[in-house]
Structure 1
Amino acid sequence: MAAVVALGLGVPALVSGGTPASGSAPAAAAVPATDSPEAGFARDMAIHHQQAIDMSFIVRDRTQDQAVRGLAFDIINTQANQRGMLMGFLDQWGLTQNTGAKPMAWMGHSYEAHDGSLMPGMATNTELEKLRSLSGREAEVYYLQLMIKHHRAGGEMAQAYVDAAKNDAEKRLAQGMVDAQHAEIALMTDMLTERGAQPAS
């Protein structure tokens, strides 16, 4: 499935450069500032990914449809892997996982958090409760609609980082997110069509 593409980045993406030439010392990598796009993207996308993981666990238990359960499984595994890499970057740089800065401030974005939705595309607490209350086809459709919105906004955030990136490893990870989430949006749109539904506006 398309979501698995990003897994190929793996842990090696955290390691920059290669073996230094004989007799030469490895170059010291610049450590991003805590308010840099590098740190901001790592923190914000980790939060964004966590909700996608949470929603996928919810729908996994609300339907027996193998296609939706398979998609949810891929999202859980792929985004948990990516989230760990993002946290790894912050740890590598000696930066905290939390900050007082507003979400997406690093990309000049202003979003009014409400009802648990901290960033664009994130479901509200009310929407999550509704998802938990549904089952079968209704749960499948609502999950796919929520996840398409989630992926669209997540892809936009990842692209914003790709455009501003100064860290090659993190840029590769972000580009993998852009590619995989665009592919998954197309897949989920087809899945909605099969269920007689369409993405929410």
Structure 2
Amino acid sequence: MTQDRDPAASRAGARSWLVYSAAALVVLLVGAAVGMLLTLSITGSDAPPADDSVDVGFAQDMRTHHLQAITMAGLARDRSTDPVVAGLAFDMETTQTDQSGQMSGWLTTWGQPILLPPGEKHMKWMAESGHSHGGAQMTPEGVARMPGMATSEELQRLRSLSGKELDVYFLQLMLRHHHGGLEMAAYAADHAQLAYVRNLAEKIENAQSTESGLLERMLRERGAAPLAG
């Protein structure tokens, strides 16, 4: 015989979700404001980067890449029963929400759209030097999906899981996601025009390299391996 879920527990869970969601929104807005203020204070009379620059392309694409990581981390933070996984998810969500806000602030200050137009491909800003990803040479046409991004089916599966299965799948998706974002961050750290863009790109590269090692170790501890491919 099954028991109905405790209504008090349901209300507490809903309140917790609302508190975390509100906190995430505040972090995003604060990050955007800080990004705008820092951009205005640093650039002075310098011309903003061009539409097709590494700076603009990186900010648009990495922000989009981050937003999916924030979604996955929010799911794990809310639903994991493993305090280590939930704590890591919260840290990732907070960090990437702040960074997404900064990039939104930059784009607003530069007079650039925060989102690419519908149908526009990603990573065209990496084609100039003939950079490659996943063994394929980048072209001016860009790519429809950035490396590491989960499909809608994978996200739906993550939402459907619980317990250890949820933890393992989250760690697997996030590890692949980090690997995909590393290449963009490394390229921007080397090629962006503006020092503060290069600085954030380098921070992302370093943090996600470190976190990738942690994710791999956590998977091994749970008897799991990274996703194939």
Query: Structure 1 length normalisation: TM-score?
Result: 0.83
Aligned residue for 2:79, secondary structure, equals: coil
2:65 to 38, 48, 55: 48
Match of 1:67, SS state, is: helix
What is the root-mean-square deviation of aligned Cα atoms in Å? 2.0
Return the offset for 1:30. Answer: 2.2
Deviations 1:157-187 (A, max 9, x none): 1111112111001110010000000010011
Which of 64, 77, 83 lines up with 1:66 in the alignment? 83
CA distance in 2, matches of 1:16, 1:161: 20
Residue in 2 that maps onto 1:6 = none
Change (3 A) 1:166 1:67: same
Q: State the aligned residue count.
A: 181
Displacement of 1:112: 5.0
Check if 1:79 corresponds to 2:96: yes
Report matched runs for 1:129-144 at 5 Å: 129-144=156-171
Structure 1 residues not aligned, in runs of 5+: 1-9, 19-25
Residues 1:14 and 2:38 aligned together = yes
Do the aligned partners of 2:124 and 2:143 also contact (CA within 8 Å) in 1? Answer: no
Is the Cα–Cα contact under 8 Å of residues 122 and 143 in structure 2 kept in the other structure? no
Question: Which residue type is aligned with residue 93 of structure 1?
Answer: W
Structure-2 separation of matches of 1:82 and 1:14: 13
Are residues 61 and 151 of structure 1, via their aligned partners in 2, closer, same or farther at CA, if it must alter by over 3 Å? same
For residues 94-126 of structure 1, the C-alpha deviation after alignment (integer angstroms, 9 at most, x for no partner) is 11213344111111246653xxxx311000001
| Aligned residue among 96, 99, 109 for 2:116 | 99
The runs of at least 4 consecutive aligned structure 1 residues that moved more than 4 Å come to 15-18
Q: Which has the higher contact order (CA 8 A, sep 6+)?
A: 1
Distance in 2 (alpha carbons) for counterparts of 1:199 and 1:16: 42
Amino acid at match of 2:200: L
Give the Å deviation of 1:35: 1.4
> Distance in 1 between the 2:225 and 2:185 partners?
24
Alpha-carbon separation, structure 1, partners of 2:221 and 2:54: 39
Give the equivalent residue in structure 2 for 1:37.
54
Q: How does 1:120-159 map onto structure 2 within 5 Å?
A: 120-159=147-186
Q: What is the CA–CA distance in structure 1 between the aligned matches of 2:149 and 2:44, rounded to whole Å?
A: 39
Give the Å deviation of 1:17. Answer: 7.1
CA radius of gyration, larger in: 2
Structure 2: state its 5+ residue gaps: 1-30, 128-137
Aligned AA (1:103): H
Aligned 8 A contact 1:46 1:83 in 2: yes
Cα distance in 2 for partners of 1:171, 1:57 equals 27
